[in-house]
Amino acid sequence: MSVAGRVILVAFGALAIVLGLGVVSLLTSEGVPTPNPSPTQEQVEQTLLLQVLDGDGYARGNVVIGIEPPGTDPLTVLIAMPASVLVPQGDDSVTLGVTPQSADTLAAVTAIEQGFGLRIDAGLTLDRLAFAGLVDGVDGVWVELDRPVLLPAIGEEDRLRVLGPGWVKLDGIAAADYAVLRIPGESETDRVERFLGLLEDALERLPRTDDQVRQLLTSLGSLAQSTVPTDDLVPFLKTVRADIGSDRVRAEVLPVELIRGGARPASIAAPDADALVQALFPDARVTPEGTGMTG
């Protein structure tokens, strides 16, 4: 046989082997479905309940922050919940503001989940000094005051200092006092909106790197209690900071109906509250598996 003939024969043999392997592959894979990719963290809305306490341990500030899955606009949503709103606790109901005083560290998380059917992946509770440390860590925040505001003088709580009117830069202690301040004649909704604006400014000023955010959270120490490890909060807060800075954010206040007045009022969710929660957090539902932010 000539050299050319041998080359042709080898080529046909190789082709036959390739075709044979292809047939075997098709036969062995027949009837085996292609696995669907399992949901990833990026496909699921994540939620954080952030609470800020006053000097008596009452949660004056309560905000649920959610990161929407990619492709949605805006990406970050916030709903501020008045401290007065009644939520379930065991066989009873308590105001959201007193939930941090429970021996159960998940009391507030459980209350939001049971009361609003809203899945909470992590809880972060800051006492007054921890919130002050957070604000100092981002070099203060700016607020615009339409009238003078009286705050305790630093180091002299029996005296008052006057802030405003106009734009004022608040340091940590001033911001913490302002965040939980009850201004005479101010409705609870106005007070919650004031706190929400202050919090958004602080979140927008968070550091840009993982290490810096981690160091800031770690520096708050035991005054900041989280239901998940600090490392789980870092990427979440970085995304929130970026979204707020890019104006990819929607912030709302939970509508409530007052049923008891006073220094610590009580209220119930208004009829349209559930629709608002569902609209803001369409993918955050309570699941039988429980809570836990995935990193």
Please write the tens of the pLDDT for every residue from 195-234: 999 999 999 999 999 999 999 999 999 999 999 999 999 9
DSSP E strands in the chain: the ranges are: 46-53, 59-67, 76-80, 86-89, 92-95, 122-126, 141-145, 149-153, 156-163, 166-170, 224-226, 249-253, 256-260, 266-269
pTM for this entry: 0.81
Residue whose structure tokens are 């939980």:
180
Do you know the residue count of the chain? 295
Written as six digits, the tokens of 158 are 């029996």
Q: Determine the Cα–Cα distance for residues 13 and 16; give it in Å rounded to an integer.
A: 5
Written as six digits, the tokens of 174 are 């001033």
CA terminus-to-terminus distance, the chain: 67
Q: What is the pLDDT along the chain (295 residues), one digit of tens a residue?
A: 544 444 334 444 443 443 344 433 433 444 444 334 343 444 567 999 999 999 899 999 999 999 987 666 778 999 999 999 999 998 899 999 999 999 999 999 999 999 999 999 999 999 999 999 999 999 999 999 888 888 877 666 677 888 889 999 999 999 999 988 878 778 888 889 999 999 999 999 999 999 999 999 999 999 999 999 999 999 999 999 999 999 999 999 999 999 998 878 999 999 999 999 999 998 887 754 544 555 4
Number of alpha carbons in the 13 Å side-chain half-sphere of residue 168: 21
Sort strands 122-126 and 46-53 into parallel, antiparallel or unpaired.
parallel
**Contact criterion met (CB below 8 Å) for 134 and 123:** no
Written as six digits, the tokens of 253 are 């206040």
CATH number of 43-280: 3.40.630.190
Q: What secondary structure letter does DSSP report for 37? A: P
pLDDT one-digit tens code per residue, 147-193: 888 887 766 667 788 888 999 999 999 999 998 887 877 888 888 99
Per the prediction, the chain carries an average pLDDT of 83
pLDDT of residue 157: 64
Q: What values do phi and psi take at 33, rounded to 5? A: -70, 150
